[in-house]
Structure 1
Amino acid sequence: MQGLHLTADCYDCSCSPGLLLDPIQLREFVMEQTLRSGLTVVGEKFHPFQAADGSAAGITCALLLAESHLAIHTWPERQAVTLDVYVCNFTEDNSAKASGLLNALVAGFAPARRQTHRLQRGSGADNQTLALEQLTPHTAYGTQLAPPLVQLQSPFQRIEIAESAEFGKVMRLDGAYMTSERDEFFYHECLVHPAALSHPHPRRALIVGGGDGGSSEELLKHPSIEQLTLCEIDPAVIQAARQHLQSVHRGALDDARLRHVAQDGFAYVQEAAPAAAANLRYDLILLDLTDPQGADGGALAADCYTLGFLHACRALLNPGGALVMHLGSPFHHPQRFALLRQRLGSVFSKVHPYTVHVPLYGALWGMAIASDSLDPLQLDSRAAASRLRERALGELQYYNENVHSALFALPNFVQNLGA
């Protein structure tokens, strides 16, 4: 009876009307995605309904799977669909196949809004759930989580915080792993310090995203920082982090130098850029964003990866300033890595990609520093060590003067992506 049960309620679907009305078209789509996911169909039923006037009124379908079942109900009058995928994991783990199937179905129906749920069935006395995130349609990574301490649907996304044996408390947004207590320093230290230490005297900074407070905590370690603007669209993320992720932000979310702007990052930057006076620009801009394509098919931060947004960020930088962003995994997301690197290169004179393995993400992760003049490679280990001492940045768990240069030593396959 051990298994994974996934549901999705999809609203305002912009798919072809036939997927909601025509059982033949729906069957073709559903069978293709199910077989592509690696699940085994052993039976099927597609039943169309009719309205009182004889017109088509929706479809109920069920696939019997060797692994369990898939059920779909369409409401064309509401442009809505409900999806239900259940797989047994008793003899083998079919969780990644189920997640891949649900993601593919949701993408096909193209909802403007959706709500998803993930339930571990028959997990036994330990009450743990193996929570997987799809890195690609074919690969997933995850860890066992206890029942959620936080599980809520904000106006923007689904927020979950749960305990895990290896990572401590873990935050997920729309099913995607964001940060954990025990490995957050891999990501946050490497996102912040290579650029911040390379800058001789960073005073004003902007972080777009980063509601867990980890990147703010690292940036505020630099004593020259006078003002930090945290543009996080979702106040519920900050509230959850304040309550449950103190060991990640260490009080930085309430630091007097930090100003929280509860606004969409794209809108904030676009509005600020044309009117930015010299004394209102930033020395550093960090894009601490969710992925442009989330685990459940969402794209809350997609606009913040566009060429127009990067141009607007450049207009907000002081001379000598730099922008930092993550590019995704060069192995699992090579097209995204290459595209974002090329976009940065079309906006900034200098782009320096680098990589770090992030345990929670289960992958080598790419980042980049972009600037018109700041060059992190000009900071050698001796100068980096000197600045680390001057700024009293001794309490770091990953980054040091030797790691600084090593981060930019790229394997050949990474060097060639987007070059």
Structure 2
Amino acid sequence: MAFLLLYKFKETKNYRTRFVVIMMLTTLGFIAGFVYAEKIMSYSEGMTFQDKVIYSKTTQYQRIVLTKNSRELRLFLNGNLQFSSADEYRYHEALIHPAMQGQPNAHRVLVLGGGDGLAVRELLKYPQLTSIKLVDLDPGMTNIFKKNEMLLQLNKRSLLSPRVNVINTDAYNYVRNDSGSYNVIIIDFPDPSNYSVGKLYTNAFYKEIYRLLADNGVVVVQSTSPYIGRRSFWCIDHTVASVGFHTIPYHVYVPSFGEWGYILATKNYSWKNEGQLPAGLRYINTATINDMMFFPPDMQEEETEINKLNNQVLVHYFEKDWGPYAH
């Protein structure tokens, strides 16, 4: 357009050469930026992150960055910390084992999210499970956790297990079209910081989960921090309950994140902290599970609206809860 305007108006004749040179240099700059975008981004990330960046890639869906120091490996998605190898076992043991302890006859599990395979690693400690289906949107995520030796050591090669079927697709569309029945459903999505993720926390989504869960089955939902995101946490609890589930909220302290919350949900099954846990767990036992069910006054229940597709109130709660912590 600039080239066209230069030659359309006679008044630009005396300046054409200068402007053509400027525009050509600008165009070359844009081309160079496009060609070397990944290297430029990697360089800037090396200055931004505290630790050494050992892997970075922009996929169709997100920016994946892995950093490492002498103590830990960290995963960042779009700049947000997802786990630290130093304490992720607390998060993932709390996500899986309270639900699994009362399911000795479970054989089919659906995992939504969790493309790093760390939740699946915990599930594979139960020999009675014959089918674990993992649905994660980004093949760039699941592929690196299937191939990188350092990450394979962390997830114990879980995504390569013959008992695990990895499906890369949109979870919302998947559950709407799935006709299976599952004994346990693990929902491990990122926090509801935008509408595209917020739809995965709506009553419409949980209605589909209710349909897919066996009558005596258990669902667990990653539910952000009940301390920082108090309204967000209880909104998720109320939304899950609104479709007919009986909910049991609980939380755990993860040093990298602080207090973190989960919602355990059942249909007809009466959950009790009495089942057998696998050997070798680093954090979870019967006593810690009992402690996780207690909420002090600064995390106790608050009244909220139900999160629906046509209001996405959870995203607004999340923005207000986490806004002061954005930087």
Same structural fold, with TM-score higher than 0.5 when normalized by the shorter chain: yes
Residue equivalent to 1:137: none
Please list every run of 5 or more consecutive structure 1 residues that lacks an aligned counterpart in the other structure. 1-48, 54-115, 122-127, 132-143
Aligned match of 1:145 in 20, 44, 51?
51
Match of 2:280 among 395, 413, 416: 395
Distance 2:165 2:195 in 1: 25
Q: Distance in 2 between matches of 1:196 and 1:313?
A: 17
Match of 1:288 among 170, 188, 201: 188
Q: Does 1:413 align with 2:313?
A: no
In the alignment, which of 163, 166, 185 is matched to residue 89 of structure 2? 185
The alpha carbon displacement at 1:326 in A equals 1.4
How big is each residue's C-alpha offset from its partner over 1:70-101, in whole Å with a ceiling of 9 and x where there is no partner? xxxxxxxxxxxxxxxxxxxxxxxxxxxxxxxx
Aligned partner (choices 142, 159, 162) of residue 238 of structure 1: 142
Deviates more, 1:176-185 or 1:316-325: 176-185
Deviation of 1:300 (Å)? 5.0
Q: What secondary structure sits across from 2:101 in the alignment?
A: helix
CA distance in 2, matches of 1:409, 1:266: 32
Q: For 2:64, which of 149, 152, 159 is the aligned residue?
A: 159
Structure number with the higher helix fraction is 2
Give 1:369 shift.
Answer: 0.3
Distance in 2 separating the partners of 1:119 and 1:210? 28
Partner of 2:77: 173
Q: Which residue of 2 aligns with 1:261?
A: 167
Residue 151 and residue 368 in structure 1: after superposition, are their counterparts in 2 closer, same or farther (change >3 A)?
same
Scaled by the length of structure 2, what TM-score is found? 0.76
Distance 2:55 2:196 in 1: 20
Which residue is equivalent to 2:261?
366
Instruction: Spell out, residue by residue over 1:117-162, the C-alpha distance to the aligned partner (whole angstroms, 9 max, x if none).
Output: 58669xxxxxx7564xxxxxxxxxxxx311x221111000001111
Q: Please state if 1:321 is matched with 2:217.
A: yes
Conserved? CA contact 1:198–1:375, under 8 Å: no
Q: Take 1:203 and 1:418, find their aligned partners in 2: how far apart are those partners?
A: 37
* Alignment partner, residue 271 of structure 1: 177
Helix, strand or coil at the partner of 2:162: coil
Q: Secondary structure at the match of 1:201?
A: coil
Contact map agreement 2:251 2:262 (CA 8 A) in 1: yes
In the alignment, which residue of structure 1 is the partner of 2:13?
none
Preserved CA contact (<8 Å) 1:169 1:245: no
Q: What is the alpha-carbon distance in structure 2 between the residues aligned to residue 191 and residue 341 of structure 1?
A: 15
Give the letter for the 1:309 counterpart.
F
Equivalent residues in 2 for 1:193-232 (5 A)?
A: 193-232=97-136
Amino acid corresponding to residue 225 of structure 1 in structure 2: L
Matched residue pairs, number?
267
Letter in 1 for 2:267: D
Partner amino acid, structure 2, of 1:400? N
Partner Cα distance (2:228, 2:42) in 1: 24
TM-aligned CA deviation for residue 370 of structure 1: 0.9
Amino acid in structure 2 at the alignment position of 1:203: H
Cross-structure match for 1:19: none
SS at match of 1:156: coil
Name the counterpart of 2:315: none
CA RMSD of aligned residues (A): 2.4
Give the match's secondary structure for 1:347. Answer: coil
Write the distance in 2 (CA, Å) between the matches of 1:410 and 1:193. 19
Match of 2:155 in 1: 249
Look up the match of 2:318.
none
Higher relative contact order (CA 8 A, sep 6+): 2
The C-alpha deviation readout for 1:251-282, integer Å capped at 9, x for no partner, is 1110001001111111100111xxx2xxx300
- SS of the residue corresponding to residue 200 of structure 2 reads helix
Kept in 1, the 8 Å contact 2:104–2:128? The answer is no
State percent identity of aligned pairs.
26
Q: Would the aligned equivalents of 1:158 and 1:175 in 2 still touch at CA under 8 Å? A: yes
- What is the distance in 1 between the residues matched to 2:42 and 2:223? 28
What TM-score comes out, normalization by structure 1 length? 0.60
Residues of 2 paired with 1:310 and 1:339: CA distance? 13
CA distance in 2, matches of 1:264, 1:359: 31
Residue 292 (structure 1) shift: 1.4
Runs of 4+, deviation exceeding 3 Å = 116-121, 128-131
What is the distance in 2 between the residues matched to 1:313 and 1:165? Answer: 41
CA distance in 2, matches of 1:335, 1:401: 28
